[in-house]
């Protein structure tokens, strides 16, 4: 290139503008240098650099102090506006730090939303009205995927596939239970139920690839049994309807159908099998993802006020 310097550079050095504005505010370079506690030569040089970078004369070096030229006035106005915009930005960031602003996205497994809502979210949202909280209901796999891909900050899932990249913040034992309608013959057997007893009834199961299904498959392998699914669905609602309208059996954690249990529409029977007992619900986040202050706070409250049973393990 023939010229190293473009007539107008891509960016204005903030230091240049600072000294420039200070000098013009003070009226002279020397008084500005006194205020800023720097040498006058520094300010003089920086202003000159700014002028050279812009290719325009900005100040009149007027024996008694400095005054802005027309271009200097324009630049000064620009800098003023830019400064208030910057202050506004800093305010926004401060608000974000003080939970005044922000957006939190939750991905929640089926069955956890209402407990979460009544236990934590109502209070949290009331205390932070400026915050936008998005609750995205999804099946277990989607919860994990959304958290992994960053679409959701926090995920709540029952028996999620804990891949690397997904970090479990808190988990709780929530045994996988056999779900049947209240009048089902299984309810009359001694509790906890033997696994084999359930296999005599038609099964409704979630599809392969789901955490629950993996547990069930694992139990089948360990117990050397074969589980034949009469119905496969990725919707818990479908499975609930399935068992409530017939003598079928499905396996779901208790918290996923607290409503139905409380109303007596369904009953949950614990199963005497280690794999089923080991089932856990997890609050998950993306590994090493820096959460926004708001998300961090909500996560903290979810863990503290954990509404899904006794806390089992907390990585905090």
Partner DNA sequence: GGTTAGTGTTGCTTAAAAAGCAACATCCGA
Partner DNA sequence: TCGGATGTTGCTTTTTAAGCAACACTAACC
Q: Given the rule CB under 8 A, which residues bind a second copy?
A: 7-8, 11-15, 18, 54-57, 60-62, 67, 69-71, 74-75, 78, 81-82, 85-86, 89-90, 92-94, 96-97, 102-103, 150, 288-290, 292, 294
Quote the Cα angle for 60-66-70, to 5°: 45
Q: Which is nearer to a second copy, 11 or 224 (CB)?
A: 11
For residue 251, CA distances in Å to 218, 221, 243, 264 come to: 13, 16, 10, 17
Choose among 87, 128, 121: nearest CA to 293: 128
Which candidate, 137, 157, 160, places its Cα nearest to that of 255? Answer: 157
For the bound state, the minimum distance from the C-beta of residue 289 to a second copy, rounded and expressed in Å, comes to 6
Q: Is 295 helix (H, G, I), strand (E, B) or coil?
A: helix
Number of neighbours of residue 312 by Cβ within 10 angstroms? 14
Among residues 41 and 191, whose Cβ is nearest to DNA?
Answer: 41
Q: Which is nearer to DNA, 218 or 258 (CB)?
A: 218
Nearer of residues 243 and 295 to a second copy, judged by Cβ: 295
With contacts defined by CB under 7 A, how many residues of the chain interact with DNA? 29
Using a 10 angstrom Cβ sphere, with 0-12 exposed, 13-18 middle and 19 or more buried, the burial of residue 122 is exposed
- Token pair belonging to 89: 């930005």
Spatial separation of the C-alpha atoms in residues 142 and 157, rounded to whole Å: 9
Nearest approach in angstroms of CB 68 to DNA is: 12
287 contacts DNA (rule: CB under 7 A): yes
167 binds DNA per the rule CB under 7 A: no
Interaction of residue 42 with DNA, rule CB under 7 A: yes
Q: Name which of 164 and 264 has its Cβ closer to a second copy.
A: 164
Give which of 150, 153, 149 is closest to 135, Cα–Cα. 153
Token reading at 26: 């003070």
Nearer to DNA, 287 or 313 (CB): 287
Alpha-helix runs per DSSP H in the chain: 14-26, 29-36, 40-54, 70-97, 113-116, 122-127, 140-149, 195-198, 211-222, 236-244, 258-262, 274-277, 293-304
Residue 249 CB, nearest distance to DNA (Å)? 33
Site string for DNA, 2-41 (x = CB under 7 A): -----------x-x-------x----xxxx-----xxxxx
In the complex, the smallest distance separating the C-beta of residue 278 from DNA, rounded to whole angstroms, is 20
When CB distances are held under 5 to 8 angstroms depending on the partner's kind, the choice from a second copy, DNA, none that residue 14 binds is a second copy
- Quick one: what does residue 57 bind among a second copy, DNA, none, with the CB cut-off 5 to 8 Å set by partner type? a second copy
Is residue 46 near DNA by the rule CB under 7 A?
yes
Answer yes or no whether residue 80 interacts with DNA by CB under 7 A: no
Q: Check binding of 289 to DNA (CB under 7 A).
A: no
- Given a contact cutoff of 8 angstroms between Cβ atoms, the answer to whether 168 and 282 are in contact is yes
* Positions in the binding site for DNA (CB under 7 A): 13, 15, 23, 28-31, 37-42, 44-49, 61-66, 164-165, 287-288
């Amino acid at each position: 290139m023939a010229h190293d310097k473009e007539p107008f550079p891509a960016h204005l050095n903030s230091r240049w503008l600072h000294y420039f504005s200070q000098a013009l505010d003070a009226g002279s370079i020397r008084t500005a240098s006194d205020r800023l506690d720097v040498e006058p030569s520094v300010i003089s040089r920086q202003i000159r650099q700014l002028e050279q970078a812009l290719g325009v004369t900005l100040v009149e070096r007027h024996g008694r102090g400095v005054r802005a030229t027309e271009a200097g006035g324009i630049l000064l106005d620009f800098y003023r506006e830019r400064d208030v915009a910057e202050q506004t930005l800093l305010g926004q960031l401060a608000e974000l730090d003080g939970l005044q602003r922000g957006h939190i996205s939750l991905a929640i497994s089926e069955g956890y939303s209402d407990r979460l809502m009544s236990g934590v979210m109502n209070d949290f949202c009331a205390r932070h009205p400026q915050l936008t909280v998005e609750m995205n209901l999804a099946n277990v796999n989607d919860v994990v995927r959304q958290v992994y891909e960053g679409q959701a900050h926090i995920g709540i899932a029952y028996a999620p596939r804990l891949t690397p990249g997904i970090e479990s913040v808190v988990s709780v034992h929530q045994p996988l239970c056999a779900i049947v309608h209240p009048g089902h013959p299984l309810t009359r057997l001694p509790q906890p139920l033997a696994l084999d007893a359930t296999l005599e009834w038609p099964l409704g199961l979630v599809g392969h690839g789901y955490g629950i299904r993996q547990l069930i498959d694992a139990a089948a392998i360990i117990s050397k049994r074969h589980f034949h699914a009469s119905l496969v669905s990725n919707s818990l609602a479908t499975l609930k309807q399935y068992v409530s309208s017939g003598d079928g059996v499905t396996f779901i954690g208790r918290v996923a159908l607290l409503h139905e249990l409380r109303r007596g529409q369904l009953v949950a029977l614990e199963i005497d099998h280690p794999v089923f007992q080991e089932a856990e619900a997890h609050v998950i986040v993306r590994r090493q993802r820096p959460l926004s202050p708001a998300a961090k706070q909500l996560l903290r409250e979810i863990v503290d006020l954990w509404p899904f049973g006794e806390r089992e393990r907390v990585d905090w």
